[in-house]
Structure 1
Amino acid sequence: MSQWKVVFKSGESYQAEIVKDVLEDHGLHPVIVNKKDSSYHFGYFEVHVETHEVLDSMQLIKNEINFE
């Protein structure tokens, strides 16, 4: 079975969705893991990719996504 690694974390679901969409547009296979508590609204959303896609994912996130 493949190993999955976290390449992005955010407290905002829309940011995780944007990252996922950008990675998918470049042929990668990300998944979002919701670690946000639904009762108290703390925690975060993680974007995971398979180990062999980590470097490409990190490069795309750095060069193509800016939330400022």
Structure 2
Amino acid sequence: MSENWVKVYTTSNAFAAEVLKQGLTEAGIPAVTINKQLSAYNIGEINVLVSKLDFNKAIEYIVENEIE
């Protein structure tokens, strides 16, 4: 992964990560997820990443939508 991507959110819930990624994308903020879970047991984390240039906009989106 390029160093131009930064983590804006971490969760263990795959559905929540995907919903956030889609919301960011619909808001014009390209986002990707990286699933680091052990799939058989859902142990681990899922990271949502955005471009460094979109970091502040992504944080604003997360705060405005009260995503925890």
Same fold (TM over 0.5): yes
CA distance in 2, matches of 1:10, 1:21: 15
Question: Residue in 1 aligned with 2:15?
Answer: 14
Per the alignment, residue 52 of structure 2 pairs with 51
**Equivalent residue pairs, number:** 67
Root-mean-square deviation (CA, aligned residues, Å) is 1.6
Q: TM-score, normalised by structure 1?
A: 0.86
Q: Deviations over 1:5-42 (max 9, x none)?
A: 00011000011011101101111110000010124431
Pairs within 5 Å for 1:31-46: 31-46=32-47
Which runs of at least 4 in structure 1 moved beyond 4 Å after TM superposition? none
Structure 1, gaps ≥5 residues long: none
Structure 2 residue runs of 5 or longer lacking an equivalent are none
Q: Percent identity?
A: 24
Q: CA separation in 2, counterparts of 1:45 and 1:2?
A: 18
